[in-house]
Chains A and B, each alone.
Chain A
Amino acid sequence: GPSPRAAMDLFGDLRRMNKRQLYYQVLNFAMIVSSALMIWKGLIVITGSESPIVVVLSGSMEPAFHRGDLLFLTNFHDDPIRAGEIVVFKVEGRDIPIVHRVIKIHEKENGNIKFLTKGDNNEVDDRGLYKEGQNWLEKKDVVGRARGFLPYVGMVTIIMNDYPKFKYALLAVMGAYVLLKRES
C-alpha cells in the first residue's frame, strides 16, 4: 500500500486546498455583503430618503397599515407636502420613525412649511408626540413620503429586534451556509 511518507504529502495537499477554498468562500461572502450595501446606498440616492424602506412599528395607522408592514418612501426635495399625504418623520432627539398622515399645512410664499400629523387610528393629533413646546413639524423632520407598501414582509425585522437570539441564530445559519457551500 501507500507509504506513510506519501500519505503525509497527500494530507498536506488537502489542508492547503481547503485553506484556499476557505479564502475563496470568504471573498464570495464579502462580495455578497458589499453588493447588498451598494444596492441600499443606491436606493438612498434614488429616493432621496435616508431610509427608503421602513417597517411599520405600531397600529396607529390601522386598518391601512399594521405592525410588520413594509413601506417604500421617497423624499424628493421638490415634492410639496400636502394634506392627506402619509409621511414618515422623526421627532428631534428620537430615533424612531413615525408613520402618520398630514392633516394640516401652513405654507409661506417662500416655501417654508409647517404641518401637523395624526395617525388614522388615533383620536388626537400628534402634538403630544412632538418635542416639548413643539407644535408643528417641518420639512427637515421628514424621512420620506409613503409611496408604496407590502404587507407582513417587515415582520422579520420586528422579530429579530424583539428576540435577539433569533437574530444571531439566523446570522449564524446564513454565515455557515455561505462559507460552506461548494460551487459545483
Chain B
Amino acid sequence: LRKNVEDFTGPRERSDLGFVTFDITADILNGKNGLRTIFDWNVKQLFLYLSAEYSTKNNALNQVVLWDKILLRGDNPRLFLKDMKSKYFFFDDGNGLKGNRNVTLTLSWNVVPNAGILPLVTGSGHVSVPFPDTYETTKSY
C-alpha cells in the first residue's frame, strides 16, 4: 500500500482547509487466508475510505474521511489510482493543519457481508503528510 501526496492549506472563515492529492496502490486480501482475495462467498461489497488522522491543539484526535469508494463483488480488489483529489473538504476544527507535520493518511475498508458481522479493517501501510507553515491564497483545484 503506497501513497504519494502534495499538499497546501487555505484559510476559510476561521478553519484550516487542506488540499491533498494522492496515489493509491492497494491489493485487498483476506488477512486470515494470506493471499486469498477478500471477495469470498459471503462478501457483498467493500466500502473503502481514505482517512487523515492527526492531533491539534484544539483536539487530541481528529479523523477526516477524504475519499471513499465502493467495491462490489466482482470488482477488482487491486487498485492503481493516480493523482486523486479528495472527495470531501478537509476542514479542521480550528487552525490545526497549519504547520502540522504529523498528519497520517490510512486506507481502511468496511466489509459488508451478504449476512453476518460487519468488520472494519485498516490497511497496513500509511503515509505521513506534513502540512506547510504558510497558507496559499489562491489555488486552482
Which among A65, A83, A86, A151 is the interface contact of B65 at CB below 8 angstroms?
A: A83
- Residues B45 and A64 in contact, CB atoms below 8 Å apart: yes
Give the segment of A5-13, A98-106, A155-163, A164-172 that binds chain B: A98-106
Bitwise interface map of B from 1 to 20 toward A, beta carbon under 8 Å scored 1, else 0: 00000000000000000000
Which among B58, B59, B64 is the interface contact of A83 at CB below 8 angstroms?
A: B64
Bound together, the chains give a CA A114 to CA B45 distance in angstroms of: 28
- Residues B118 and A84 in contact, CB atoms below 8 Å apart: no
- Residues B60 and A108 in contact, CB atoms below 8 Å apart: yes
Return chain A residues, CB-CB under 8 Å to B51. 83-84
Give the segment of A15-23, A27-35, A51-59, A142-150 that binds chain B: A142-150
Return B87 CB to nearest CB of chain A, in Å: 10
- Residues B59 and A107 in contact, CB atoms below 8 Å apart: yes
Interface size class for chain A? 20 to 34
Bound together, the chains give a CA A65 to CA B58 distance in angstroms of: 35
- Residues A64 and B112 in contact, CB atoms below 8 Å apart: yes
Interface size class for chain B? 20 to 34
Return chain B residues, CB-CB under 8 Å to A114. 93
Residue of B at shortest CB range from A80?
B61
B74 interface contact, C-beta 8 A:
no
Return chain A residues, CB-CB under 8 Å to B93. 106, 114
For window 49-94 of chain A, which residues contact chain B by CB distance below 8 Å?
63-65, 82-86
Contacts A64-B44, A64-B47 given; does A103 touch B70 at CB 8 Å: no
B110 interface contact, C-beta 8 A:
yes
Contacts A84-B108, A86-B110, A120-B47 given; does A107 touch B117 at CB 8 Å: no
Across the A-B interface, give the 7 residue pairs with the lowest CB-CB distance, nearest first: A83-B63, A109-B60, A107-B61, A103-B65, A106-B93, A106-B59, A64-B112
